[in-house]
Amino acid sequence: MYDLIIIGSGPAGMTAGIYAVRREMKTLIIGKEVGGQLVWASEIENYPGFEKIGSFELINKFKQQTLKSGVEMKDDEVKIIEKNEAGNFILHTNRETFEAKTVIIAMGLSPRRLAVKGELEFNGKGVSYCANCDGPFFKNKRVAVIGGGNSALDAAEVLSKIASQVYLIHRGSSLRAFDSLVAEVRSRENIEVILDSEVHNIEGNDKVEKIIVSNINTKLDREIVLDGVFIEVGRLASTDLVADFVERNEKNQIIVNTKTETKTPGLFAAGDVTDCEFKQITIAMGQATVAALTAYQYLQLKSGEKNIAKNC
């Protein structure tokens, strides 16, 4: 029996773990991939304490501290969650079953892939899923942004201030973003909007060198020589696992209150998987801190503890 099981071993999950054991909660993290989305990043330049740090170095530091603090970690995927008569949570992976008094969902997001040739091969070598994070590596270079929604236009706008040339490539016949954002993008001289077009191939040797773009109507191919491809076709929250226990927004992200509580007592959510508007490491960690401390308060209340710890 665990006091707390955390689902997800990204920045949110590991932070929640570190805080929970400091409250002497018996804590287990079950995660598919240690580091979460940071595995997709290259260098991190906005994590305080490190002017610049490789994402894998940061992941290792998080992991070492988490294990050293006394959190148990398992590389596995939670497949089913149930509640038993005692009000505890039963979590099933393909291999094992666990029981916990409280659960924090820190399952994050996964970038929606474009599913074209070269995308995986050049991931981190010119292909990126985060303009805010990786944009500075393309100063005065030529880049493409794939997508036609708000996040793609946001990325194009950010990149136009860094790169020498930005191609915004969208398969639709019009952009699907806020009018003001569309106007901003249209006004930038170094952004070329290419509509009705799909990227077929991402090509290069050691890194991205060009893409092949095909016009959906004319079927004509165009070769664009560039250094970077930013794929902004959305990120997915895969939260069906907990659908019965939480409220979700239209993006399947879990709706939480300021204490990270869901509609199910004892079940909390933190990090990118929640409906929090901004998706960054420090935000995910902040929410995870709140989740761990709230889970502790919840257990104290449940056990009839009279002197409830004031966490802040």
Ligand X SMILES: Cc1cc2nc3c(=O)[nH]c(=O)nc-3n(C[C@H](O)[C@H](O)[C@H](O)COP(=O)(O)OP(=O)(O)OC[C@H]3O[C@@H](n4cnc5c(N)ncnc54)[C@H](O)[C@@H]3O)c2cc1C
Determine which residue in the list 5, 28, 30, 208 makes contact with ligand X, applying CB under 6 A. Answer: 30
* Residue with Cβ nearer ligand X (17 or 197): 17
| Per-residue x/- track, 241-260, ligand X (CB under 6 A) | x-------------------
Q: Is residue 135 a contact point for ligand X (CB under 6 A)?
A: no
- Please tell me whether residue 44 binds ligand X under the rule CB under 6 A: yes
The residue (of 37 and 165) whose beta carbon lies closer to ligand X is: 37
User: Is 130 a known active-site residue?
Assistant: yes
Residue 78 CB, shortest distance to ligand X, in Å, is 4
Using the rule CB under 6 A, which residue among 281, 290, 291, 293 binds ligand X?
Answer: 281
Question: Residue 38 CB, nearest distance to ligand X (Å)?
Answer: 5
C-alpha closest to that of 235 among 253, 247, 249, 248: 253
- Cα separation values, 103 from 7, 25, 196, 253, 292, Å: 8, 12, 45, 17, 9
Piece in contact with ligand X (CB under 6 A), picked from 104-112, 180-188, 213-221, 256-264: 104-112
Q: Can you tell me which of 104, 106, 127, 155 binds ligand X, judged by CB under 6 A?
A: 106
Among 5, 10, 160, 211, binds ligand X (CB under 6 A): 10
**175 scored as a contact of ligand X (CB under 6 A):** no
Is residue 7 within the footprint of ligand X (CB under 6 A)?
Answer: yes
Residues that bind ligand X (CB under 6 A): 7-13, 30-33, 36-38, 40-41, 44, 46, 77-78, 106-109, 111, 128-130, 133, 241, 271-273, 279-282, 284
Please give the positions annotated as active site: 130, 133-134
